[in-house]
Amino acid sequence: MFGAEAVDFPLLPRFAALLGGGAVALASPALAQPPLELRLADVGRFATFVDMGGIAWTGRTARLRVLQVTEEGFTAGTEAFWGGWRYEVIDCDARTIAHVGFSSVRAGGREGPVSGDQRPAAAIPPGGADDAAAKVICDGWRPYVGVAPAASVEEAVKVGRPLIATGAEP
């Protein structure tokens, strides 16, 4: 699974809750998670949203997750999916990205466990979703100022899918 570097990921309580290990603790007001702030960063094959409230900084290196919303009707096998979360480490100064894992999001919002090993950091290629996410995170870029941040995965799906289907700028 992940090396020791991923253990301190700030969203671990959310993941524990998804696996049943933290549901009671998260129900406590003192430990409640802040609402999501999913900012649209890119539209292409996926609508890509950065989880702005879940970014953890160490210097100019950010640990974060990025929601990839799929097109309408996306299935794997017989199951429908809304998309999935990519877990990333972006070094803003070096302009590199290391993929840390992925968890699927099924239609209805049920999230799968995080899987995959951390990959080595690589240069962020210009023009893609990783580049857009890095610009949002590192540079404060706001590419879709007319689109309010989504407060839930379901809301991001409702915003993102029509953009994927039409290719239109919001």
User: Tens-digit pLDDT profile for the chain (170 aa)?
Assistant: 333 344 344 444 444 443 444 433 334 444 555 679 999 999 999 999 999 999 999 999 999 999 999 999 999 999 999 999 999 999 999 999 999 999 999 999 999 999 998 899 999 999 999 999 999 999 999 999 999 999 999 999 999 999 999 876 65
**CA-to-CA distance for 81 and 73, rounded, in angstroms?**
8
**CA-to-CA distance for 160 and 21, rounded, in angstroms?**
31
CA distances from 33 to 12, 13, 78, 157 (A): 11, 9, 32, 21
Predicted TM-score (pTM) of the model is: 0.80
Alpha helix ranges (H) inside the chain: 12-18, 23-27, 129-139, 153-166
pLDDT, one tens digit per residue, over 26-62 is 344 445 556 799 999 999 999 999 999 999 999 999 9
The structural domains of the chain, with segments of one domain joined by +, span: 38-166
Quick one: fold of 38-166? Answer: Lipocalin (2.40.128)
Q: Which residues pair with 96 in a beta bridge?
A: 91, 123
